[in-house]
């Protein structure tokens, strides 16, 4: 197919297109830069004039404030305020008015907001109503400056006589300053009230116009109505702020935009005026005429377009000449390119020029050679890729089969589990509801699978778990938790854990539910049975113990053999009573029936009692108990009998599991608000596998030297319950080489505990 245009025409058009694009880009960027520069100049002008206008407006209140502070703090003024000397105060206010002639209102009020004196006011003794600002100044005992909208009645009462003839609904924007007069002890005696009515006041706009020039217009509005402006009266009275502008100002934000005032366009910035309570009452606006800036932009645009037109005409001539010179060699290149397109990679271009066209011809020939070599490489690589693709497909098939088998195993495991399992996906919709869950909740899978977990929780009575499920759905709150619920008379243990994908993102939740109703019933029955049997055994054993003690006291009539047998019986009876007491203790703790009598006690005394009680038992095993607890430790708050029970139990275990001839150490030290008591032995270190069951009921640890030691396995469990009832904790630490240390904490008595009486729990 022959091209529509020749290569010379295309080259000419290309050069022209490049020139047109370049000139267009230059014109656009130049105009944009000029517009941005003009915009920056306008914004800077607006911001400067607004800052000046704002400072001039606020400086008026500052001048009034400093002018009234001196008389407000003068003792002579305070004395006349207390005396209610109206004549003297009137003269004083006239002196202040001569200093501040711009004030329209100048009053002296007493502590009850009644007018004592004032300029041009006839309302002496009447209470002045200024909402908010008077209370703020008198209660806060500080100067308050605020711009308020006041009704004509209040202005007339305050001495602004021209408002006495206004309509009852007339209002005015007033720059108000309240300076409290404080006596001894910061007592409020009264206050100065000074105000400047801004309506129809041309002082501030005129001052700004003199500084900024005639292109800058300054206005003050009362809400949306202009009340003071450098604009002509006809334009000012006919213009109001639009609802869009008012909406921005009521939010306390500065409005910036273009407005049309009269017959001229202005760039305007409007700053809201808020009263002392943060309410919108008016605004200060600065407007800069944009006519001069637009005229400058139009002139610059005309100059740029004229220069661009001349440049394009010259460029057209140069492009025509250049295209004629370059077309010959390029036609040859075009012909060779068409043959290469048809598959002739042996095609070459003859070129002996020394210019860029010759370089292009040489590069063209090198490119053709490279294409030929690359085509051969591509053919070889294509064959290799086909083989790799077939191999990859085989691997994918094998991996898919393995995954299917793995999924089958996992499904079989979940199906055979005795515990109910519910699994959700990323959107917390149920994707697995195993047979145990179906049996537990008596629901078929099609009612549950695919439903949101919230709906399923409502169906099965798991509503209390919804908050925990939402927490686990958050990436930063992943992990697991355990909850206990009672649903339809069944006691359930629910284990919740979140699933994560390979990137650590949330992928779902697993709920494992176990019905422990029967287990808890059996455990309760076991506990009740043990408690009942223990109670029944303790009474006859106590009688037996008493009888054996009586017989041993009369041992002079007994033979050695009889005395030895009675002693063995007495020790075994004591051992049985101790075992039964431990069973009753753990039963009482679990049922909440164990009574604790808390009072201030000394750890030093308790350790002495415990060591004395265990001395004979330790001597029998050739064990030395060393007590390093001093009397310097602070008093603790606890039950002395129960704490001695903990100490004797720990000492008994230390002696029991220590080799003969060793030393058992008991020590204590203060850590923060607790006293830490430790019992250390030199026995073999407890294995990691046994440490989890140290403080569990009916758990015993075998000693490698002596085998399994007798006992109920309740001692440490009772110690744990007693210490936790004292708001402490008991823990185990192993020595680096040999030995074990059991420690527990007891809170130090506080001041409130020390002043109170003994308490029971």
- Residue 395 CB-density burial (10 A; 0-12 exposed, 13-18 middle, 19+ buried): exposed
Q: Are 552 and 562 in contact (CB under 8 A)?
A: no
Q: What is the mean pLDDT of each run of 10 residues along the chain (761 residues)?
A: 59 75 80 78 80 81 86 87 88 88 88 87 83 84 88 85 81 90 87 87 63 70 80 59 85 83 77 87 83 74 78 76 67 74 72 69 79 82 88 89 83 74 84 79 78 79 77 70 77 80 79 77 69 66 74 73 78 72 68 77 92 87 91 91 90 88 92 94 84 74 55 78 91 84 91 46 48
Starting at the edge strand found earlier in the chain, the sheet holding 740-747 runs: 624-627, 663-671, 674-681, 740-747, 730-734
- Whole-angstrom Cα distance, residue 594 to residue 153? 79
Structure tokens given for 461:
């009575």
**pLDDT at position 224, please?**
82
Angle at 518 between CA 517 and CA 519, to 5 degrees: 95
**pLDDT at position 539, please?**
67
Place of tokens 């932009």: 297
Structure tokens given for 308:
């661009």
CATH superfamily of 417-515: PAS domain (3.30.450.20)
**pLDDT at position 752, please?**
42
**pLDDT at position 531, please?**
65
Per-position b or e across 34-71, b if 16+ CB within 10 A of its CB: beeebeeebeebbeebbebbeebbeebbeebbebbeeb
φ and ψ at residue 256, rounded to 5 degrees: -130, 130
- Whole-angstrom Cα distance, residue 296 to residue 31? 11
Minimal CA–CA distance to 516: which of 485, 544, 538? Answer: 485
**pLDDT at position 537, please?**
65
Per-position b or e across 359-375, b if 16+ CB within 10 A of its CB: ebbeebbeebeeeeeee
pTM higher than 0.85: no
Coil vs helix vs strand at 503: coil
Whether the domain at 46-292 and the domain at 595-760 fall into the same CATH topology: no
Strands (E), 516-662: 597-601, 624-627, 636-638
Topology of domain 595-760, per CATH?
Heat Shock Protein 90 (3.30.565)
- Whole-angstrom Cα distance, residue 726 to residue 730? 11
Topology of domain 46-292, per CATH?
Beta-Lactamase (3.30.450)
Terminal C-alpha separation, the chain:
105
Coil vs helix vs strand at 418: coil
Place of tokens 């030929």: 372
Q: Which helix (H) or strand (E) holds 544?
A: helix 517-553
For the chain, the residue count is 761
* DSSP character string of 355-387: SHHHHHHHHHHHHHHHHHHHHHHHHHHHHHHHH
**pLDDT at position 607, please?**
93
**pLDDT at position 751, please?**
45
Q: Where are the domains of the chain?
A: 46-292, 417-515, 521-587, 595-760
**Distances from the Cα of 609 to the Cα of 626, 630, 637, 644, angstroms:** 13, 14, 17, 7
* Rounded (10°) angle between helices 603-620 and 640-656: 30
Do the bridges between strand 624-627 and strand 663-671 make them parallel or antiparallel, or are there none, so unpaired?
parallel
């Amino acid at each position: 197919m022959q091209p529509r245009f020749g290569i010379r025409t295309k080259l000419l058009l290309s050069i022209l297109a490049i020139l047109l694009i370049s000139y267009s880009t230059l014109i656009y960027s130049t105009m944009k830069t000029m517009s941005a520069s003009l915009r920056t100049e306008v914004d800077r002008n607006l911001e400067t004039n607004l800052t000046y206008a704002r400072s001039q407006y606020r400086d008026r209140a500052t001048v009034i404030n400093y002018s009234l502070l001196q008389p407000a703090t003068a003792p002579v003024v305070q004395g006349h305020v207390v005396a209610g000397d109206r004549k003297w105060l009137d003269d004083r206010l006239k002196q202040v008015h001569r200093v501040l002639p711009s004030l329209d209102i100048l009053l002296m009020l007493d502590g009850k907001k009644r007018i004592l004196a004032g300029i041009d006011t006839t309302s002496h003794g009447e209470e002045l109503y200024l909402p908010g600002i008077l209370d703020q100044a008198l209660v806060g005992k500080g100067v308050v400056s605020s711009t308020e909208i006041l009704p004509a009645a209040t202005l007339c009462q305050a001495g602004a006589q021209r408002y006495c003839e206004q309509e009852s609904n007339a209002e005015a924007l007033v720059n108000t300053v309240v300076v409290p007069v404080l006596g001894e002890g910061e007592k409020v005696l009264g206050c100065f009230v000074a105000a400047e009515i801004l309506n129809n006041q041309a002082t501030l706009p005129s001052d700004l116009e003199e500084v900024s020039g005639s292109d800058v217009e300054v206005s003050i509005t009362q809400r949306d109505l202009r009340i003071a402006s450098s604009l002509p009266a006809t334009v000012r009275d006919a213009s109001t702020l639009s609802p869009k502008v008012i909406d921005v100002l009521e939010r306390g934000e500065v409005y910036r935009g273009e407005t049309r005032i009269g017959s001229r366009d202005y760039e305007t910035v409007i700053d809201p005026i808020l009263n002392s309570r943060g309410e919108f009452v008016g605004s200060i606006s600065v407007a800069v005429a944009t006519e001069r800036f637009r005229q400058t932009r139009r002139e610059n645009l005309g100059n740029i377009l004229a220069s661009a037109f001349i440049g394009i005409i010259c460029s057209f001539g140069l492009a025509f000449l250049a295209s004629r010179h370059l077309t010959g060699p390029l036609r040859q290149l075009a012909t060779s390119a068409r043959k290469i397109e048809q598959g002739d990679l042996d095609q070459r271009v003859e070129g002996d020029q020394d210019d860029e066209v010759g370089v292009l011809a040489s590069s063209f020939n090198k490119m053709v050679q490279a294409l030929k070599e690359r085509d051969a490489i591509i053919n070889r690589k294509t064959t290799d890729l086909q083989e790799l693709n077939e191999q990859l497909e085989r691997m994918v098939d094998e991996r898919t089969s393995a995954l299917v088998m793995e999924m089958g195993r996992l499904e079989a495991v979940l199906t055979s589990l005795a515990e109910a399992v519910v699994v959700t996906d990323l959107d917390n919709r149920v994707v697995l509801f195993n047979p145990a869950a179906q049996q537990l909740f008596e629901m078929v899978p099609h009612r549950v699978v695919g439903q949101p977990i919230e709906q399923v929780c409502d169906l099965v009575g798991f509503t209390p778990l919804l908050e925990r499920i939402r927490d686990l759905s958050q990436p930063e709150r992943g992990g697991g938790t355990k909850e206990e619920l009672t649903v339809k008379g069944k006691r359930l243990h629910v284990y919740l854990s979140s699933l994560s994908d390979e990137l650590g993102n949330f992928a779902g939740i697993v709920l494992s539910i176990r019905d422990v109703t029967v287990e808890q019933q059996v455990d309760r029955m076991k506990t009740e049975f043990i408690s009942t049997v223990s109670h029944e055994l303790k009474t006859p054993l106590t009688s037996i113990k008493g009888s054996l003690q009586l017989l041993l006291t009369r041992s002079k009539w007994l033979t050695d053999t009889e005395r030895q047998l009675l002693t063995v019986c007495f020790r075994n009876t004591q051992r049985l009573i101790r075992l039964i007491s431990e069973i009753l203790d753990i039963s009482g703790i679990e049922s909440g029936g164990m009574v604790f009598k808390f009072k201030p006690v000394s750890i030093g005394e308790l350790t002495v009692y415990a060591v004395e009680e265990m001395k004979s038992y330790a001597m029998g095993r050739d064990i030395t108990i060393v007590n390093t607890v001093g009397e310097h430790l602070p008093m603790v708050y606890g039950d002395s009998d129960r704490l001695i029970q903990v100490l004797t139990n720990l000492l008994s275990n230390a002696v029991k599991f220590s080799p003969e001839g060793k030393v058992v150490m008991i020590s204590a030290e203060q850590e923060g608000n607790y006293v830490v008591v430790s019992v250390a032995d030199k026995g073999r270190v407890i294995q990691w596998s046994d440490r989890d069951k140290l403080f569990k009921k009916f758990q015993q640890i075998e000693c490698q030297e002596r085998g399994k030691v007798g006992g109920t396995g309740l001692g440490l469990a009772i110690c744990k319950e007693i210490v936790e009832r004292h708001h402490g904790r008991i823990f185990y630490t192993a020595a680096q080489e040999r030995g074990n240390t059991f420690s527990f904490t007891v809170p130090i008595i506080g001041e409130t505990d020390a002043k109170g009486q003994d308490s029971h729990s």
